[in-house]
């Protein structure tokens, strides 16, 4: 299951890098809702979801995602505090 979580995380990063934020966000959402995700990836996943929501005008969803990000001790938690 953790290998699958890493595959989903990498797919999300590739979608985002290719400019397909909707597919990237979909993959990130699946990742954060799965039980196979590594904890160190979840902070980044929540942060990137927050960024997607912010960029698409979904302020409440962005704020929720940033708050979830801050539950994980990563550099992304620090960044989420300023969003």
Distance CA 28, CA 21 (A): 10
Q: Is the pLDDT of residue 16 over 70?
A: yes
Q: CA-CA distance, 53 to 29, in Å (whole number)?
A: 11
pTM above 0.85, yes or no: yes
Residue 3: pLDDT over 70: no
């Amino acid at each position: 299951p953790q290998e699958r979580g890493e595959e989903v995380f990498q797919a999300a990063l590739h979608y985002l890098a290719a400019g397909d934020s909707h597919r990237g966000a979909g993959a990130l959402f699946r990742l954060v809702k799965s039980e196979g995700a590594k904890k160190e990836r979840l902070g980044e996943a929540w942060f990137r979801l927050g960024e997607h929501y912010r960029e698409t005008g979904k302020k409440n969803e962005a704020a929720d995602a940033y708050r979830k990000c801050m539950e994980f001790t990563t550099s992304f938690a620090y960044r989420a505090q300023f969003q």
